[in-house]
Amino acid sequence: MIDRRGFLTAGAAVSAAGILAACAKKNPAKSSSSSDKTGGGSKQITLGFSQVGSESGWRAANTQSVKEAAKAAGINLKFSDAQQKQENQISAIRSYIAQKVDVISFSPVVVTGWDTVLKEAKAAGIPVILTDRSVETSDPSLYVTLVGSDFEIEGERAAHMLEKVLAGHTGPVKIAQLEGTTGAAPAIERAKGFAKIMKASHPEWSIIASQTGDFTRAGGKQVMAAFLQAHSDIDVLFSHNDDMAIGAIQSIQAAGKTPGKDIKIVSVDGVHDGFVAMSKGQINGIVECNPLLGPQLMDAVKTVHAGKGSTLPRWIKTQETDYTADQAAAALPSRKY
Ligand code: GYE
């Protein structure tokens, strides 16, 4: 029995090998050109990828990275944008199952509600790799690995960033929080990590307002305007991404306050426009969340397709850094997204 986390039986592996051998005999020229493409000596891999949407600069960079990395790896990519709707992702995954793609990958918009469709993929023998965001499932065999960031650690890093930003400040600190999409892993875990450090070390900090801005600029702008109406005493904005912070900056200015001074801002991502706002002093610190997951994802796809999924770690994490406003201008030209 081949251990591919239950995705492939020995019989299926043997018959797949048989088909490949037959193809190679029938058409050696074709087989060698496709082996050049994949670099793996087998037929071209088809990957069905369901993206969350196009809600942010992070997402745009992530989409580009996935497309470019698939091309570079010689992987045939079927791509669909779910416009932040879980039902669209579920239909995309079902359509990839019907098309019999080799591997399915998706960035789940929210954490819950995936078991049924993941079981369908498993029953069809198609391995699933999660990217960017995680799911909650009672059956760990429903996906092979997750390629993405540790969002709880990002929340902790955001709290430590705020400690730096507030250095020298004494007295109570009133914080407004712009949350990401409700039910999404980065929204849940960034809030959790931040709250953990706050609870452990900062009795003087309090979150006086917290609401979702859905990771979009328009959402950040609208929710921050409402926060400012309800609270005249906000000292800090913790935004779960740069785009919402950029939207919020407009509302802070419209309320006659100076972003970065009257209201200190810490956000997550590190996209180009976030760095521009930080170099103007409007954002005080950014916790980087790397969207360039394409190359690691394609490596994982090849490994899984080669039947070696069980050799992969359950979570393939990404490398990230933190930036304060004084580092922004110097870092901007070398930013890749
Ligand atoms: O921080 C945000 C995007 O899931 C890490 O989604 C991603 C988040 C990212 O919309 O900008």
222-275: pLDDT as tens digits: 999 999 999 999 999 999 999 999 999 999 999 999 999 999 999 999 999 999
Q: What is the mean pLDDT of residues 296-311?
A: 97
Q: What is the mean pLDDT of residues 156-167?
A: 98
Kindly report the average pLDDT of the chain as a whole number. Answer: 90
Same domain, residue pair 141 and 10: yes
Cα of 30 vs centre of ligand 1, distance in Å, is 41
Report residues whose beta carbon is within 6 angstroms of any ligand 1 atom: 55-56, 58-59, 132-133, 186, 215, 241, 243, 268-269, 289
**240 CA: nearest ligand 1 atom:** 1
Task: Specify if 62 maps to a domain.
Answer: yes
First-to-final CA distance of the chain: 44
Cα of 215 vs centre of ligand 1, distance in Å, is 7
For residue 41, the model assigns a pLDDT of 53
Task: Specify if 313 maps to a domain.
Answer: no
Q: What is the mean pLDDT of residues 24-43?
A: 43
> Please, are residues 56 and 271 in contact by the beta-carbon 8 Å criterion?
yes
Report the chain's C-alpha Rg in angstroms. Answer: 22
Is pLDDT of 178 > 90? yes
Task: Specify if 79 maps to a domain.
Answer: yes
**216 CA: nearest ligand 1 atom:** 10
Dihedral sign of CA atoms 198, 204, 205, 209 in order: positive
Cα of 130 vs centre of ligand 1, distance in Å, is 14
Task: Specify if 36 maps to a domain.
Answer: yes
Q: Is 150 helix (H, G, I), strand (E, B) or coil?
A: coil
More confident residue, 32 or 55: 55
Same domain, residue pair 226 and 301: no
Q: Which domain does 173 fall in, by range? A: 151-289+323-334
Give residue 43's pLDDT band: very low, low, confident or very high (50, 70, 90). confident
**132 CA: nearest ligand 1 atom:** 4
Same domain, residue pair 171 and 201: yes
Is pLDDT of 276 > 60? yes
Residue (of 244, 221, 238, 323) closest to 278 by Cα position: 323
Is pLDDT of 19 > 60? no
Same domain, residue pair 238 and 159: yes
The percent of residues in the chain predicted with pLDDT above 90, rounded, is 87
Q: Which CATH number do you get for residue 51?
A: 3.40.50.2300
For residue 33, the model assigns a pLDDT of 37
Same domain, residue pair 277 and 301: no
More confident residue, 1 or 157: 157
Can you list the positions of beta strands (E) in 180-326? 205-212, 236-239, 264-269, 285-288, 315-316, 322-324
Same domain, residue pair 110 and 174: no
For residue 42, the model assigns a pLDDT of 61
Same domain, residue pair 243 and 327: yes
**62 CA: nearest ligand 1 atom:** 7
User: Can you tell me the distance from the alpha carbon of 227 to that of 225, in angstroms, rounded to the nearest whole number?
Assistant: 5
Task: Specify if 72 maps to a domain.
Answer: yes
Could you report the per-residue pLDDT of 98-136, keeping only the tens digit for each?
Answer: 999 999 999 999 999 999 999 999 999 999 999 999 999
**58 CA: nearest ligand 1 atom:** 11
Determine the residue of 110, 289, 293, 297 to mutate for testing ligand 1's pocket, defined as the one with the most ligand atoms within 8 A of the Cβ atom: 289
Task: Specify if 111 maps to a domain.
Answer: yes
Q: Whose CA is nearest to atom 8 of ligand 1?
A: 186
Cα of 184 vs centre of ligand 1, distance in Å, is 9
Same domain, residue pair 51 and 95: yes
Residue (of 4, 2, 46, 296) closest to 143 by Cα position: 4
Residue (of 301, 305, 266, 273) closest to 287 by Cα position: 266
Q: Lowest-confidence range among 12-21, 56-65, 198-207, 211-220?
A: 12-21
Pairing of strands 322-324, 285-288: antiparallel
Estimate the crossing angle of helix 272-279 against helix 57-73, to 10 degrees.
Answer: 140
User: Can you tell me the distance from the alpha carbon of 35 to that of 311, in angstroms, rounded to the nearest whole number?
Assistant: 23
Q: What is the mean pLDDT of residues 168-181?
A: 97
User: Can you tell me the distance from the alpha carbon of 132 to that of 148, in angstroms, rounded to the nearest whole number?
Assistant: 4
Is pLDDT of 18 > 70? no
Task: Specify if 316 maps to a domain.
Answer: no
Same domain, residue pair 54 and 118: yes
Task: Specify if 91 maps to a domain.
Answer: yes
Same domain, residue pair 207 and 302: no
> Please, are residues 193 and 226 in contact by the beta-carbon 8 Å criterion?
no
Determine the residue of 110, 111, 130, 132 to mutate for testing ligand 1's pocket, defined as the one with the most ligand atoms within 8 A of the Cβ atom: 132
Number of domains comprising the chain: 2
Same domain, residue pair 65 and 125: yes
Same domain, residue pair 110 and 249: no
